[in-house]
């Protein structure tokens, strides 16, 4: 029986992308027609899982005109959506490509605050769900000024339900979640350093840092994302490293979320950690091959995955 998946996005967005030739200050720039896509960490994970043939439920907050557009976009992609209505307007992000040099400019907005009552409503809505998901992905930023204990309560709630929690966020929210203990965490080098109380880490310090998090019971799996260098996966008994395949990078938007989806698509089928990492890197890399805010194509994922899976051996 296939495992059930729930994604949580508390600061979702509608991502608008366009392109223009020569970005020059003070000049009126006549951009191409914009493209609108649903965005936000957990939402992107659900969108990517759909492309990999994995069904998930997407829980997210939705407010105002942009929230309605977000729901419409997700409905068009035939996702199972669980919107919770809030008073604040759902945010927009903007990405523009300068076609003269193929440089991408990304403009992200913070989103509006959730009131104390709305934060309680989120927790109550999740707590009263009629199903207990096998895997829960909590991904993306939190709205500004979210209560510090909110993430702690959210993680505890799912642990009581017996769910395996995957965390992909940053800052205080990441620290708090890991303190409570999760199944899988996907930090970059800077975030990994922060999790063990250091300002920075060198490559040779990664093993010790990931091992510390696992030995303290803060995570069962640590996947350290290193951008173009690929990623390293650690468990208590295994370590795998996978270099990123060489591709033409058009946009990095959604690459991290796609990596999470790729790893999860293997985990729900009971696959091994080597395959988990390979599929994660393949999906993340395939997304960078897509312009604007688009995610990967399944065809590109399969090409990259097949080229990688036989070229990684356990390092310990």
Q: Which of 72-76, 197-201, 208-212 has the lowest mean pLDDT?
A: 197-201
Q: How far apart are CA 97 and CA 102, in angstroms?
A: 6
Question: Which of 310 and 244 is assigned the larger pLDDT?
Answer: 244
* Catalytic residue annotation: 257
The encoded tokens of residue 243 equal: 């270099």
Alpha-carbon radius of gyration of the chain:
19
Ramachandran area for residue 243 (φ above 0: left; ψ -120 to 50: alpha; else beta) = beta
Q: What are the tens digits of pLDDT across the range 94-144?
A: 999 999 998 989 998 889 999 999 999 999 999 999 889 999 999 999 999
- For the segment 181-195, the average pLDDT, to the nearest whole number, is 95
Tell me how far apart the terminal alpha carbons of the chain are, to the nearest angstrom: 32
Question: What three-state secondary structure class fits 311?
Answer: coil
Region 25-36: mean pLDDT is 92
- Average of pLDDT values for 15-26? 92
Q: Which two tokens stand for residue 265?
A: 């698509």
The pLDDT of residue 314: 39
Q: Which residues contact 297 (CB under 8 A, 6 or more apart)?
A: 51, 286, 290
Residue 91: pLDDT above 70? Answer: yes
CA distances, 257 to each of 7, 38, 46, 163 (Å): 11, 13, 9, 20
- 205, 192 Cβ separation under 8 angstroms: no
Q: What is the mean pLDDT of the chain?
A: 93
List Cα–Cα distances, 47 to 15, 40, 54, in angstroms: 14, 10, 10
pTM of the predicted structure, to 2 decimals: 0.92
Examine the pLDDT at 201 and tell me if it is beyond 70: yes
Residue 261, φ and ψ in degrees, nearest 5: -60, -40
Residue 32 has pLDDT above 60, yes or no: yes
């Amino acid at each position: 029986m296939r495992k059930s998946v729930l994604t949580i996005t508390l600061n979702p967005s509608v991502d608008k992308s366009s392109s223009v030739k020569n970005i020059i200050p003070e000049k009126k720039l006549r951009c191409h027609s914009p493209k609108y896509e649903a965005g936000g960490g957990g939402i992107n994970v659900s969108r990517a899982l759909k492309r990999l043939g994995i069904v998930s439920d997407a829980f997210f907050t939705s407010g105002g005109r942009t929230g309605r557009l977000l729901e419409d976009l997700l409905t068009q992609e035939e996702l199972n959506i669980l919107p919770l209505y809030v008073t604040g307007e759902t945010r927009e992000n903007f990405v523009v490509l300068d076609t003269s040099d193929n440089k991408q400019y990304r403009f992200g907005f913070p989103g509006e605050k959730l009131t104390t009552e709305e934060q309680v409503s989120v927790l109550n809505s999740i707590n009263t769900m009629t199903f207990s998901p096998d895997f829960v992905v909590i991904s993306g930023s939190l709205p500004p000024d979210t209560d510090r204990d909110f993430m702690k309560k959210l993680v505890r709630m799912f642990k009581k339900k017996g769910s395996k929690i995957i965390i992909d966020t940053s800052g205080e929210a990441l620290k708090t979640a890991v303190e409570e203990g999760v199944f899988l965490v996907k930090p970059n080098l800077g975030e990994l350093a922060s999790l063990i109380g250091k300002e920075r880490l060198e490559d040779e310090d990664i093993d010790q840092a990931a091992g510390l998090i696992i030995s303290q019971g803060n995570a069962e799996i640590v996947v350290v994302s290193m951008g173009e260098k690929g990623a390293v996966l650690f468990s208590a008994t295994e370590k795998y490293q996978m270099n990123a395949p060489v591709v033409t990078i058009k946009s990095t938007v959604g690459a991290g979320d796609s990596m999470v989806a790729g790893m999860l698509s293997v985990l729900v089928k009971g696959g091994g950690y080597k395959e988990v990492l390979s599929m994660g890197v393949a999906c993340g890399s395939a997304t960078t091959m897509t312009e604007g805010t688009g995610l990967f194509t399944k065809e590109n994922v399969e090409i990259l995955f097949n080229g990688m899976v036989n070229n990684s051996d356990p390092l310990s």
